[in-house]
Structure 1
Amino acid sequence: MLIVGKAHKYIHSKIEIRQDQMKGFQHPQYVITINDITLNDYLNQNTQSRSFDLLVPPIGLFDNRDQQKVLALLSFTNVALPILVCSDDMDFSCTVVTTYVEEAKDYIIWKTFGYGVDMSKPIHVPPLAFEKSQYREFVEAFKGFIHRDSL
């Protein structure tokens, strides 16, 4: 279903985060799913690349300040939120995929995507819209995984 707002069309989407087996990894990883496909596959399909395969959500980052930044940003809108990082480095020094999170009347929108915490290099994929209640569930689950992983 498309949602139209201020001259933009958004894909009405379902979002979840969980642990699951991912190709390229020996052990289960945290994975964000959009409409029942991984965020990695969503990005790969829309960019016709495989460059997002070994990226994971920023949970268990090596730098506690970076982890606290992600934890804080999850609670806000109108911010650039890091959503995937390089699984080898687990910090913001290598590959970071970020989305600009915007709040609309009934939806939370991942409006634009880019590389780096500053989104300096755009990733051209369609924006996504999530029902506010479902997005809040996603955020709480994401925060729970961060807290659990930091113990």
Structure 2
Amino acid sequence: MSREIKFIPFFVRIGTICLPCRYPSASVELVDNVFGDSRGLQRFPARRSLDPLSLNGIPMHHRIHAAYHQAKFSRSPCAWLFIDGVPIEEWLNCHLEYPSLELHGLSLMWLLDEEEDALAKRRFEPAEDGTSTPVPLLVCGDDMDFDCFVLMTEQVIDGEILHWRRFGVSVSDGLEVGITTRWDAESRPVSFSLGEFREALEEFYRLMKA
């Protein structure tokens, strides 16, 4: 006998599991019934990973750190950024549902031109509180420049929180990357602790020089 689980809006979301292998564009939200009965956790299919939220007044952010990673298009491991323990290109592939994002490289590592590389590093660096910066996140794994596909985010600093407020594809190229961007209609924001984000960048650059 099959049971139908109806969606009830009175719940608290407490986590996300991305399933990049069997379901490359899906995730599963774990939700807890606020009525505290014995049904426990329920699983509901979700199009994307969770937006930042607050639980009992405590802000919950995505985790970010740096480590070595060998991307699908790379011949060897190199310094990389991870979100919630997943390589950034794979995590964004799950979060945004863009085609083949897992085949794109982190701009901080995957640019050949020195000026473009310096620009990416400047844009990634958190700016002053209350500001926003267009940041190039991923570039073509083959071209390794800003003249092909470039995934952008609007990076916003709000006190001790760093937001990737929205995502899109740069229309302008080269050193004008991100000046003209086709932003997604659905923003799908992501938030990090500003302190942890800075620590991740510091560790990334340390691994690059190691």
- 1:50 Cα deviation (Å)? 4.0
Query: Is the alpha carbon distance of 1:82 and 1:16 closer, same or farther for their aligned partners in structure 2, counting shifts above 3 Å?
Result: same
Aligned counterpart in structure 1 of residue 188 of structure 2, from 126, 136, 141: 126
Task: String of CA shifts for 1:53-89, please: whole Å, max 9, x gaps.
Answer: 2111122522111111112223233111111111211
Aligned positions of 1:72-151 closer than 5 A? 72-77=122-127, 78-116=132-170, 117-118=177-178, 120-123=181-184, 124=186, 126-144=188-206, 148=209
Q: What's the TM-score once normalised by structure 2's chain length?
A: 0.58
In structure 1, distance between residues paired with 2:125 and 2:70: 27
Task: String of CA shifts for 1:15-37, please: whole Å, max 9, x gaps.
Answer: 12322123344322443211111
Amino acid at match of 1:130: F
Q: Which runs of 5+ in 2 are unaligned?
A: 1-13, 15-51, 171-176
Identity of aligned residues (%): 24
Query: Is the alpha carbon distance of 1:67 and 1:48 closer, same or farther for their aligned partners in structure 2, counting shifts above 3 Å?
Result: closer
SS across alignment from 1:53: helix
Query: Is the alpha carbon distance of 1:133 and 1:47 closer, same or farther for their aligned partners in structure 2, counting shifts above 3 Å?
Result: closer
Larger deviation: 11-20 or 44-53? Answer: 44-53
Larger deviation: 137-146 or 11-20? Answer: 137-146
Higher RCO, Cα 8 Å, sep 6+: 1
Q: Does 1:27 align with 2:76?
A: yes
- 1:47 Cα deviation (Å)? 3.6
- The runs of 4+ residues in structure 1 deviating greater than 6 Å are none
Contact 1:83 1:97 in 2 (8 A): yes
In structure 2, distance between residues paired with 1:95 and 1:29: 22
Query: When you count helix as a share of all residues, which structure comes out higher?
Result: 1
Q: Which runs of 5+ in 1 are unaligned?
A: 5-9
Q: What's the TM-score once normalised by structure 1's chain length?
A: 0.78
Amino acid at match of 1:121: R
